[in-house]
A and B are shown apart, each in its own frame.
Chain A
Amino acid sequence: MPEAANILELRDISVKYGAIRAINNVSFSVKRGEILTLIGCNGAGKTTTLRAISSMVRVSGDVTFNGSSTAGERPETLVRRGLCHCPEGRGIFANMSVEENLSLGAFTRNDRDAIESDRQRVFTLFPRIKERLKQNAGTLSGGEQQMLAIGRALLSRPQLLLLDEPSLGLAPQLVQTIFRIIREINQQGVSILLVEQNAHMALQVAHTAVVLETGGVAMQGPASDLARSDAVRKAYLGH
């Protein structure tokens, strides 16, 4: 299969929760190898867009991942195709050890040696995770849990990583670290779709940005252009 230039394409996707339209005719695409950030206020439909991409909600419109449609797929089958979704609130299995959390990240894989080398890669990115391997994941601090969530996601060897608010609830210093690591992961060849409320940081790290407002795309373009635009600066950057 020839590699599509866009790892992900959304064409006019809409999601309804009962009678309420959460997102309406959203279209954008993520180029292979880039970081695209999806910014917007609470309730703009960012998380719903991610859930639509990973088939967690019923969606109308076309979602194309890696050249083929995701219609009829389930979240677990998409993981096998290389799409990994790191959910909002981290989704750590608090009753299991850090090590078990990591191995669940590699659930779809059987190549032991490659998994081990990916684990080592995760430990270089997050040395803290290595120190806490035997600990119960529920006892980790918020920042460590976020690192674990991202590390675990990497173990599925994703081509596209969906990150839902990785900076939520973290101290400013930690936010810096997380964003540095997101950039590193991207440089290693993983395309990233980053949902953020911290528009300031997100626009710095991303190549492309999409602004969602009340369920629809309000603006999209190169992240640096959007960071300079008056509308974005007023609404999301506060100056």
Chain B
Amino acid sequence: MADFLQILITAIAVGSLYALIALGYTMVYGILKFINFAHSDIFVLGAWTSLTASVCVITWLKLDTQQPPLWLAPVVLLCAMVVCGGVAFLVERLAYKPLRKSARLNVLITAIGVSLLLQNVGQLPGFTAAEKDGRSLATVPFGPSPSRMPSLLPDTSLISVPFPSGDPTIPAASVQVNLVDVFIFVSAMVLMFGLQHLVYRTKLGAAMRAVSFNTETASLMGVPVDRVMSFTFVTGAVLAAAAGFLYALKYPGLNQPAHEIWVLLGLKAFVAAVVGGIGNVRGAVLGGFLIALIEFMGMYLFSKYLDPLMGTNMGTNLRDVYVFSVLIVVLLVKPSGLLGTPVREKV
């Protein structure tokens, strides 16, 4: 029971990350009608920018590495959002905007190109910033080797529920709700509700939905289509940056930017968007949590019940299989995704 709940908590935290990334995929698809394959690289950039920003700020201000002040986390988050938003703005302006009127396939291939570009730029070696008197100030950790994110949040558990095992020979287990998990969940929720408000309650959001439904008619209403598209793109990237930051908090050992683990993470978020119904904001959130639940519950249940039966030890290794099986099932049974209902229009 205790381990089940513990895994559930992790699944919810990771699910919020999937949901944040999936939102970017789904928004860009909804408005620009293409899958932005470079989206997961923006997420990676978010994680790495967070790392760079926190290391730089800590060294410049000579902060305590073990227990940095609490204000550092929001500052670093803001840095990641600004950097990723800026990069996304440039990517959109330079790579996608010139292709607005060309075939979808061209944009799709360009997106793959942008993804490769970002991955490989991420491999460039880090640099050392020097102070005036020649002393090295900070080595900016950016580049081909894995690195470690300083812990910005105290490693405390907020709630600890003991579960007596009922057997005196087995020590009592307990369920820990860690600060980092709560922080991830709450931040993700705030961002998602913010987005929900933006899309469904503001004039700009109405314009976004109008562009998504019919670009041409939206322009006849006076909606500045190009600007709405850029804005949507940047918003998606900012959410991915936040996800990258939160990911780095939870899993501080950051792999190099082109590592396959990042690609897989991005792919899973993409699966979440498709499962929820691509183009649907609420669907992306639902898909994100669902995918994480299935991934973690799959690992838990398989290792607990099937592995002992078959004498194997592969429950954890199959984690990607659970996710992509869901994708296959959804594509077979309800290709428009869980919340994606084809809109019927009377003529």
Contacts and interface: CB of A to CB of B under 8 A. Distances in A.
Contacts of B224: 76
Interface of B: 203, 206-207, 209-210, 213-214, 216-225, 343-347
A140 B210 CA distance: 18
A80 B217 CA distance: 15
Contact of B213 (A95, A107, A142): A95
B203 A95 contact: no
Contact of A76 (B206, B214, B219): B219
B213 A145 contact: no
A13 B223 CA distance: 26
Contact of A107 (B207, B346, B347): B207
Contacts of A79: 220-222
Interface in A41-75: 54, 56, 74-75
A95 B346 contact: no
Given A75-B220, A79-B220, A91-B217, A96 B206 contact: yes
A56 B221 contact: no
A79 B216 CA distance: 13
Interface stretch (A27-35, A82-90, A201-209, A214-222): A82-90
B223 A142 contact: no
Identify which of A87, A96, A104, A152 gathers the most chain B CB atoms within 10 Å of its CB. Answer: A104
B222 A80 contact: yes
A93 B214 contact: yes
Given A95-B343, A96-B206, A96-B210, A87 B216 contact: yes
A169 B220 contact: no
6 contacts: A87-B217, A91-B220, A93-B214, A94-B345, A141-B346, A145-B346
Contacts of A169: 347
A96 B346 contact: no
A95 B206 CA distance: 11
Nearest to A145: B346
Contacts of A100: 206, 209
Nearest to A139: B346
B161 to A, nearest CB: 44
Contact of A89 (B220, B221, B347): B347
B223 A140 contact: no
Contacts of A86: 220
A96 B220 contact: no
A93 B346 CA distance: 11
Nearest to B212: A95
Interface in A85-135: 85-87, 89, 91-96, 100, 103-105, 107-108
